Structure 1
Amino acid sequence: MSLMGALNSAISSLYAQSQALSNVSSNLANSQTTAYKASSTSFTSLVAGTTSSSSGGVVASTRSSVSEQGLLVSSSSSTHLAIEGSGFFVVSSEVSGGQTYYTRNGEFEIDANGYLTNGGYYLLGWATDASGNPVAGTSEASLVPIDVDSVKSSVGATSNVTMQANLPADAAVGDSFDTTIEVYDSLGTTNTITVTWTKTDANTWEMSFADPTLAGGTAASGTVTSTPVTITFNSDGTLAVTDPSPAELTIAGWTTGAADSAIALNLGTLGAANGLTQYASGSTDPYIAIQSITQDGLAYGALTGVEIGADGSVTAFFDNGEQRVIYKIPVATFPNANGLTEMSNGIYARSSYSGNSTLHLAGTGGVGTINGGYLEASTTDTSTEFSRMLTAQQAYSAASQILSASNEMFQSLMQAVR
């Protein structure tokens, strides 16, 4: 190797170690950045010249570790997400028609328009039907920005009422007792119905219904069209039979304009004590003991929050007690994730080195699960980076000494020829 070759080697070393220090600096600067993937420096020897007079050198290149898993850290926000395993969230730069990108940074928040966003990028998902299944398939073309404000509560007419109660066996024939139930019409309006229980014979009761009224009102809001229900008990206090069987409550002429109602009355299993029973109250003033009355109707509700499940299901919660899956968040994988093009804000773009993305439901096909309420930490190891920094500094200093020595040797040569 000639003196000029030594200079070239030293210069290449200075450049390579500068690049290594730059990578160390970037990693340390992002040691607290969500889902940041630390990069490392790869060094390759370089030989220039002929076999008889060749000079050595070094070339440095940055090696990405995009596929490396970071630790999951708990977050106070239910819309913060972390992928445990392989894959990326799919985001868009625009609400409609924007470029598709990928990220592991799950610091998503609901913006003023109801979209889940992070740094100006919109989280994409598949809209789902009432059963939680994607309505337009699971292709990239069917992805849409997740908009929680666009999802409204559903309403439902009461179609089933389930009762658990004890009718007093020690009541006298002709004794009557009143209780109430709440039902919803098809428009989600709450109505109150008074139920009158009359003992008509030993072990026999009649269940009749007053016309419904709006909650807090007294005027009828509909007309009961079904006949009273006759209830007979066995000698052991269990339910024997109802007439009609099954028992039903029908209502027509809702003043709200709702559709007529047909409500099945679940009064318990015949021969069992899981619904209506007839046991002595043990009181000088017999009474009906209501254990529970449930119904399946729903009033209109306001959105109270969302949660994301391990399979990417976005579940909306409403103040009427309703909850349902409104979107599915996919996980994208690549043949070579380390070949993705890195951008700002933890965003990656496809490249010819990464290959095309494949979309999966979270937790299927070997891809990672989605953890709501967690964030992925940076993969930077500060102790490792400090070690690399010292190594780069020492190598850089050594290369600079070679430059100084070569310079002195050149000076000696120049003086010799003068």
Structure 2
Amino acid sequence: MGIYGALSSAVSGLRAQAHALENISGNIANSQTTAYKRIETDFLDLIPDAPLNRQIPGAVQAQSRSTNDIKGDIKSVSTGTYIALNSNGFFVVEPKVGQSDGNAVFAGTNFYTRRGDFEIDKDGRLVNGAGYYLKGLPIDTRTGNISGSVPEVIQLSNAFLPAQLSSRINYQGNLPQVPKTTAYNPTVPGSELLDAGDYAGGTTGTPLNQIEAGDNALFLTNTIEGGSITVFAENGAPAVVQMRWAKVDSQANGGTDTWHLYYVSDSNATGTDAMWTRVDTEFTFGPDGSMTAPTGTSIDIANLTVNGVQVGDVEFNFGAKGISQFADVNGTARVTTLNQNGYGAGEFVSVAIADNGRVVATYSNGMRIDMAQVVTAEFNAANQLKRHDGGVYSATAESGEPITDVSGGGILGGSLEASNTDISEEFTKLIVTQQAYAAGTRIVSAADQMLQESLNMIR
């Protein structure tokens, strides 16, 4: 190989250590860059072809190695739209290339990033600190189901949330075997029952469909509270549905345990005007406390109207065994489930990304509506992705095609991934690189001196 070969090897070593220094300096410079992935340096020895008994050391070549599959530390932040990935995936993003007629124009090419510092821009899109826009799938706000298949730049709206009509009331609970109403007297058989004959226009043994305002005080003494809930008309007008249960027959009285459900239809009624309206269904129970009628899982409350607010037909859903009649020493109705599916109109307040990757908008009416589903992508060879400015990557033939995931797995809302650069480790590598470079220069100096000695031999 000779002196010139030694010089060539030494220079290749200097070049390789300079390349390593470049990677180290870049890692240190980006130690505080969100989700930055450090670059490692690999050294490859280049051995010239030679017979076995004449093998000689060769030169060296440096190449970069990505660490895209090594996560940085994840920290909690107060910004609701910041997200991190506790997986090997990447967020799917797209850059904006300009505007046309006031509308943003996007590149039409997917890029991939771990940088999750997304914030809402003036147009309602989620963009990170490097200027890349988050992509996802739209969600049907009525059903909560994903309504698309091709990821697109997430677009949020700060418009009012339209009201949703209450079409269902979910109700579950237990009615006491003996309701301890105000009129109940344990020494008087049947005192816990409501007798329609005691009310204006009522007849004993006949269902009392309405309660006049003048009989309200008496009605309250013969019934127990069944809970109340606010429902909404189609235009968002609220109506408070107050319910009371009246037991009208019992086994102890020689009949069947039978209950009627009433609700306030006009709280401002006076005199002979109807204040309470009966739900047109009888609830009966067997000796074991289970409901024997109605036999389904729900009934319909026809044309529900409260204080002039017309809600319409509402499903009263109690499930398979949602209402029971078990003995209760308190003699009151114990409601375990009471909710409904409507809401009034609301003004946009804020947006956040949940741990399942759902982009959730919050409104002034207290509703939280899923607007979009964040899409992530994984690669079989993530370290073979091509790097670009801003912490983004593009797929290559070596990385393979992206494997998309719409489940939201691994997404952490209100979190941010830090750089995976370890400053102490980089400084250690810096010292080693500096010493290796210095050693290489010594080889060059020694070779130079040997050449000088060779030239001096002819003097």
| 1:128 corresponds to | 139
Where do 1:8-87 residues align within 5 Å? Answer: 8-48=8-48, 56-87=58-89
Q: Distance in 2 between matches of 1:360 and 1:232?
A: 48
CA distance in 1, matches of 2:30, 2:365: 44
Offset at 1:263?
3.0
Q: Distance in 2 between matches of 1:206 and 1:25?
A: 76
Say whether the 8 Å CA contact 2:265–2:305 is kept in structure 1.
no
Question: Any conservation in 1 of the 2:360–2:368 contact (CA below 8 Å)?
Answer: yes
Aligned length: 390
Q: Is residue 263–residue 276 contact of structure 2 (8 Å, CA) maintained in 1?
A: no
| Aligned partners of 1:49 and 1:55 also within 8 Å | no
The residue matched to 1:155 in structure 2 has which SS? coil
SS state of the match for residue 62, structure 2? strand
CA gap of 1:241–1:230, structure 2 versus 1, over 3 A, is: farther
Equivalent residue letter for 1:153: L
How far apart, in 2, do the equivalents of 1:279 and 1:8 lie?
A: 97
Secondary structure of the corresponding residue to residue 362 of structure 2: strand
What residue is the counterpart of 1:284 in the other structure? none
Matches within 5 A, 1:217-256: 246=299, 248-250=301-303
Of residues 39-48 and 406-415 in structure 1, the stretch that sits farther from structure 2 once superposed is: 406-415
Worse-superposed segment, 297-306 or 57-66: 297-306
Q: CA deviation at 1:289?
A: 12
Q: Is the 8 A contact 2:137 2:146 kept in 1?
A: yes
1:104 alignment counterpart: 114
CA distance in structure 2 between the partners assigned to 1:60 and 1:181 by the alignment: 71
1:300-349 Cα deviation digits (max 9, x unpaired): 12233344344423333333233333222222122321111111221112
What's the counterpart of residue 91 of structure 1?
Answer: 93
The letter of the residue matching 1:300 is A
Q: For structure 2, which runs of at least 5 residues remain unmatched after alignment?
A: 97-103, 185-190, 192-197, 200-217
CA RMSD of aligned residues (A): 4.4
State the shift of 1:3 in Å: 1.5
1:85 positional shift:
1.8
Letter in 2 for 1:396: Y
Gaps of 5+ in 1: 282-287
Greater CA deviation, 392-401 or 95-104? Answer: 95-104
Equivalent residue number for residue 168 of structure 1: 181
Tell me how far 1:56 sits from its aligned partner: 2.5
Q: Percent identity?
A: 30
Residues 152/134 of structure 1: CA separation in 2 closer, same or farther (3 Å cut): farther
Mapped to 1, the partners of 2:23 and 2:337 lie a distance apart of: 66
- Which residue number in structure 1 is paired with residue 434 of structure 2? 393
Q: Secondary structure at the match of 1:321?
A: coil
Determine the structure 1 residue equivalent to 2:153: 145
Name the aligned partner's letter for residue 101 of structure 1.
Answer: F
Q: Which secondary structure does the structure 1 equivalent of 2:58 belong to?
A: strand
Task: Give the counterpart of 1:381 among 373, 398, 422.
Answer: 422
Whether the 8 Å contact between 1:160 and 1:265 is mirrored in structure 2 is yes
Change (3 A) 1:278 1:302: farther
2:360 is matched with 315
Matched-pair contact (CA < 8 Å) for 1:224–1:251: no
In structure 1, C-alpha distance between the alignment counterparts of 2:46 and 2:247, rounded to whole Å = 102
The corresponding residue for 1:113 is 123
- Paired with 1:261 and 1:89, the residues of 2 have a C-alpha distance of 45
Q: How has the CA–CA distance of structure 1 residues 359 and 253 changed in structure 2, closer, same or farther, with 3 Å as cutoff?
A: same
C-alpha spacing 1:380/1:196, structure 2 compared with 1 (3 Å): closer
Shift of 1:271: 5.7
For the residues of structure 2 that align with 1:293 and 1:332, how far apart are their CA atoms?
A: 41
Tell me if the contact between 1:207 and 1:229 (Cα under 8 Å) persists in the aligned partners: no
Distance 2:46 2:259 in 1: 101
| Amino acid in structure 1 at the alignment position of 2:431 | L
SS at match of 2:390: helix
1:298 to partner: Cα distance: 0.8
- Deviation, 1:84, is 1.4
Report the 3-state secondary structure (helix = DSSP H, G, I; strand = E; otherwise coil) of the residue aligned with 1:170. coil
Q: Distance in 1 between matches of 2:323 and 2:24?
A: 76
Q: Which whole-Å CA distance do the structure 2 matches of 1:163 and 1:103 have between them? A: 48
* Distance in 1 (alpha carbons) for counterparts of 2:259 and 2:61: 96
Equivalent residue, structure 1, for 2:233: 185
Matched, 1:272 2:274: no
- Cα distance change of structure 1 residues 289 and 83 upon mapping to structure 2, 3 Å threshold: closer
Q: Secondary structure at the match of 1:17?
A: helix
Residue equivalent to 1:329:
374
In 2, Cα distance between equivalents of 1:136 and 1:206: 44
Correspondence for 2:314 among 250, 256, 263: 263
Partner SS state of residue 61, structure 1:
strand
Cα separation, 2, equivalents of 1:108 and 1:392: 37
For normalisation by structure 1, the TM-score amounts to: 0.75
Counterpart contact for 2:158–2:348, Cα < 8 Å: no
The amino acid across from 1:113 in the alignment is D
The structural deviation recorded for 1:408 is 2.4
Contact 1:158–1:263 under 8 Å retained in 2: yes
Shift of 1:396: 0.6
Residue 453 (structure 2) aligns with: 412
**What is the distance in 2 between the residues matched to 1:358 and 1:151?**
34
**SS of the residue aligned with 2:372?**
strand
Q: How far is the alpha carbon of 1:69 from its aligned partner?
A: 2.2
- The one-letter code sitting in structure 2 at the alignment partner of 1:112 is K
- Shift in Å, 1:100: 1.5
Deviates more, 1:143-152 or 1:290-299: 290-299
**Pairwise CA distance, 1:381:** 2.1
Q: Is the 8 A contact 1:81 1:373 kept in 2?
A: yes
C-alpha displacement at 1:24, in angstroms? Answer: 1.2
Q: Which moved more, 1:181-190 or 1:49-58?
A: 49-58
Are the aligned partners of 1:151 and 1:326 in contact in 2 as well (CA < 8 Å)?
no
Could you tell me how far apart the structure 1 residues matched to 2:92 and 2:419 are?
19
What residue identity is the alignment partner of 2:138? A
TM-score when normalising by structure 2: 0.69
